[in-house]
Chains A and B, each alone.
Chain A
Amino acid sequence: MPVLEVHKMSHNFGGLRAVNGYHLEIDAGQIRGLIGPNGAGKTTIFNLISGIYAPMEGEVLLNGQKVNGLPSHRIASMGISRTFQNLLLWRHMTVLEHVKMAHYSRIRYGLVGAFFGTRKRRREEEEIEGRALELLDMMGIRHLANQVVLNLPYGAQRRVEMARALATEPKVLLLDEPTAGMNPEELVQIMEIIRRAHREFGLAILLIEHRLKVVMELCERIQTLNFGEVIAEGTPEEIQNDPKVIDAYLGKESVI
């Protein structure tokens, strides 16, 4: 059974049909790509799946369970995590605090622990911190643990976002242009990190990406979106040779 299913999902913004009849089935351990020109509706699809907006039509099923309509923090704690295209970090918090925060839904000490600093709280906070540090190790940013994110270079901020997304212990990870604004060297590193996360956690990953080189290399199957609709779906080779894709997408942008 697919871990994430989306059926006939549609959404309007005023008169604009931003997403129309979107369909997706993704199994655990698969990496899928989502490409399309600017304004095609890719980010909106992520926002709908992760519950930032409730889709107007259609269904989102996580392990067969309906999640559309739930508040986004519930969907996140059930196992759909994401990163943001334009880096939504908490500017006054440290790297370690970011990753600890993503454990929020698993905290059991409650308000009593928060107000009175019980032993249970101390134990749990230590546990969370341990796991957060492991993730920072994996991302290669442990040495930045106590830095405020505002001062970090762009590549490091991207890694913080990735670590934070993984800390929710997701089953499905939605990555919205994780390589945006990176130089070739950083690009290779972030691709390695995506592969590692995929290998170690057995995640299903849905990847939005502008650089075709990255999608072609990472993804087993790719969907192409234009004006909110999937116009082509298939393996990287099929997509590369599909005339509709070339027309909508490849024709307009230089292939990197």
Chain B
Amino acid sequence: MSRLRDMLEGGEFVVTGEVAPPRGTDLAGMHAAVDLLAPHCHALNVTDNQGASLHLSSLAASKALLERGIEPIFQQTCRDRNRLALQSDLLAAWSLGLENLLVVTGDDPRAGDHPHAKGVFDLDSTQLASIARGMNEGHDMMDRDLKGGTGFYVGAAMFPEAEPWDVQLARIEQKIEAGVRFFQTQAIFDMDKLQRAVEAVRPLGAKVIAGVLVLKSPRVIDFVNSKLAGLMVPDAIADRIRRAHDPADAAIALAAEQVASIRDIADGVHVMPLGLDAAIGRILGGAG
């Protein structure tokens, strides 16, 4: 049973974290991160060739988490596979026991470590969500019955701070209509914008897990602003970290404040510690 689903649908506040599979076959580093994060989180996202760069598959890494008794959120991007491969991986995921699914579009390949790759984008994330819902109902995207369907708890990404809001709102409604039950947001800096998103989503019956990014150094801020698509650190926040005597410490304090605010607004928090995994306890304010 998906604990993520049970808690969210039962109105309990959830904490999720995130790990990246290795660029290779040695899972030790990932497990080390998992060991730090898992005691504080209800489920962990396992990214899919994140940043359009080569990693071990989310499918195998999610299964590895499951074997250690940790609940994964299996991420699938539309960038690297066509509709046959995506559906086949969804069937594989369910057969391996993966119950939480997060569908995302995927970064442009030119931003990654294989810039000459063809971006597939045979489907977009909304279409993939609706296919997953169809599989939950026992059929593939061609409406043909499956010998054994799936039962995914389907999530998608949400971008409360990426204006224009009317466009984002329409996207959110589309995704919910496609079968998305929970959203994980891009990192939140403006709590009013998170509030606005939650108010839009709640009446439609879906849940919002708000993202917190730990901006552990000025370098990370520069990276986010220049390299991460769809995200900008506001000046006031960037200045606070840049001016701090101990930027990592200031970043942890800031993240803890954000988590505290999010507890009052959203259905959960998704922590992206960017390497400061050991600080997760402090970030969550001792709770979680």
Answer yes or no: do A and B interact: no
Residue positions of A touching B, CB distance < 8 A: none
Residue positions of B touching A, CB distance < 8 A: none
